[in-house]
Amino acid sequence: MAQQPERLDGVFLALSDPTRRAVLGRLGAGPASIGELAAPFDMALPSFMKHIRYLENTGWIRTRKTGRVRMCTLEAGSFEAVYGWLSQQRDIWEERTDRLERFATDPATNQEKE
């Protein structure tokens, strides 16, 4: 139970920055070059590239150089990992509550306490 979140830390942390969130939001509309992605930000390119590398290292995006342009593409896998993990936690709690409900409403197990 404790291992998965450790692995997901980087994925979550990548979303803690507004520049990175904006980049992911933009890439949601389709692949884009580094130049296009950097354009809206008043930021030196090396600083911007740090964000790109962060997103790449945490598995949010893929980059590929075609000619002189580096194109970025969103990796849906990270989103699914975050979402999948949370829905897995939800299932655990739903099923746990089902069992509590069955247990608490079963007359045989609760006779003496009522």
Partner 1 sequence: MTSTANPALDLSVSRVIRAPRSVVWAAWSDPARFEKWWVPAPTICRVLDMDLRPGGGFRTEISDDGAAFEPHISACFLAVDELERIVFTDALVAGWRPAESAFVTSIITMRDHLDGTEYTATALHRSGADRERHERLGFHEGWGTVVDQLARLVEAH
Shortest Cβ 78–partner 1 spacing (Å): 9
Whether the CA torsion 42, 75, 31, 67 is positive or negative: it is positive
What tokens were used for 19? 């520049």
Query: For the chain, how are helix, strand and coil distributed in percent, rounded to 5?
Result: 70, 10, 20
Stretch that binds partner 1, among 36-44, 45-53, 62-70, 72-80 (CB under 8 A): 72-80
Q: Under the criterion CB under 8 A, does residue 40 sit at the interface with partner 1?
A: no
Which long-range contacts (C-beta less than 8 Å, at least 24 apart) are formed by 79-83? Answer: 81/8, 81/11, 82/8, 82/11, 82/12
Smaller CB separation from partner 1, 68 or 108: 108
Which two tokens mark 7? 């692995």
8 binds partner 1, rule: CB under 8 A: yes
42 binds partner 1 (CB under 8 A): no
Footprint of partner 1 on this chain (CB under 8 A)? 1-2, 5-6, 8-10, 12-13, 15-18, 21, 24-25, 28, 74, 76, 79-80, 82-83, 86, 89-90, 93-97, 99-105, 109-110, 113-114
